[in-house]
Amino acid sequence: MWNAMEFSELAAVILIGAVMALLVSVGFRDWLRKRRRVASLAARVQRNDEQFGQDYFPDAKRADAAVRVRRILSKNLEMPLGGLVPSDRLNEDLRAELPANPHLFWELEEEFGIRIDMDDMESFEKTLQRLVTFQDLLEFVEKRIAEPLAESPGQREEEEPSPAYEFAIRSIPVLFVVGLVGLVSGIILDKNRVTNISTVIFTSGFAVWGFANGGEMLRTLILEMRAMSFKEIAVRKWKLVFVTCLVVFFLSVGIFISWAVLNNVFFR
């Protein structure tokens, strides 16, 4: 007789096995489909970049754009496209799966220095419906190239540092000089009170340095993230992580030194 524990373990094993079998079968099916697509393209006349541009796009500028789009598409799909023709359908023939493939559009943005707004889902879905063939994708990129880049919402705010940051940075040399002069004077005159106050002033310069840089970096980071779409955040995630670490470092310096100064003044 099976007890409840043994039955639940058997059910778990069967479920895990079924899921693994499903994943393997889906992966194998996709591999077969990709192999058929590669074989179908390989059976055609193979054209290198120069031949592809000359044969299908007499205009030199358009030929250059077409070659670059084909390279990006080949890299994105991880398959050679030497047999590609402009009338090939992106989803049906090449299985580009544009609605689920934002990386293709991010790579096109980076290659051509264009902006493809995917945040407006309704508008972008209509765009995807028009991108049927490789020719359509090329015309879409050419249209984006011809359009001027829109200024991001936070761009103007990022151009100039905040007044608080400028004031803090200008005050740091003053704190250092006043503190150092007072410290030397206190030592020479043997005035402990003057020495202690001057030490606090001098040390507070480091605290201001930490808070000023950390606060300004945090402000800039927030403005950038407000102006960026999800796709841009995903692409630049490591840059954002690095900047966040710098923010934490500078603010930690400011907090630590402030605590040390307050501890020295009030809790001695």
Alpha helices in 43-89 (DSSP H): 49-56, 60-77
Burial (CB < 10 A; 0-12, 13-18, 19+), residue 70, is buried
Judgement on whether residues 104 and 89 belong to the same structural domain of the protein: yes
Q: What is the pLDDT of residues 200-230, one digit of tens each?
A: 888 888 888 889 998 888 888 888 777 666 6
Average pLDDT, the chain: 82
Most confident of 41-55, 115-129, 188-202, 245-259: 41-55
Instruction: Quote the pTM value.
Output: 0.53
Contact status, residue 169 vs residue 216, Cβ threshold 8 Å: no
**Does some domain include residue 155?**
no
Judgement on whether residues 173 and 120 belong to the same structural domain of the protein: no
Judgement on whether residues 111 and 126 belong to the same structural domain of the protein: yes
CA distance 170 to 162: 13
Q: What is the pLDDT of residues 69-91, one digit of tens each?
A: 999 999 999 999 999 999 999 99
Query: Residue 113: which domain range?
Result: 45-146
Q: Average pLDDT of 8-34?
A: 70
Number of domains in the chain: 3
pLDDT of residue 268: 53
> Looking at residue 131, which CATH number applies to its domain?
1.10.1200.10
φ, ψ (nearest 5 deg) of residue 91: -85, -45
**Does some domain include residue 152?**
no
Burial (CB < 10 A; 0-12, 13-18, 19+), residue 76, is middle
Find residue 133's DSSP bridge partners: 89
Q: Which of 120, 146, 172 is the last residue of a domain?
A: 146
Contact status, residue 210 vs residue 168, Cβ threshold 8 Å: no
pLDDT of residue 23: 66
**Does some domain include residue 74?**
yes
Classified as helix, coil or strand, 85 is: coil
Judgement on whether residues 36 and 60 belong to the same structural domain of the protein: no
Judgement on whether residues 19 and 79 belong to the same structural domain of the protein: no
Residue with structure tokens 């050679």?
A: 80
Residue 208: half-sphere exposure toward Cβ, Cα within 13 Å? 19
Residues found in the chain: 268
Q: Which of 146, 179, 208 is the last residue of a domain?
A: 146
The more confident residue out of 121 and 71 is 71
Q: What is the pLDDT of residues 40-68, one digit of tens each?
A: 999 999 999 999 999 999 899 999 999 99
Judgement on whether residues 53 and 106 belong to the same structural domain of the protein: yes
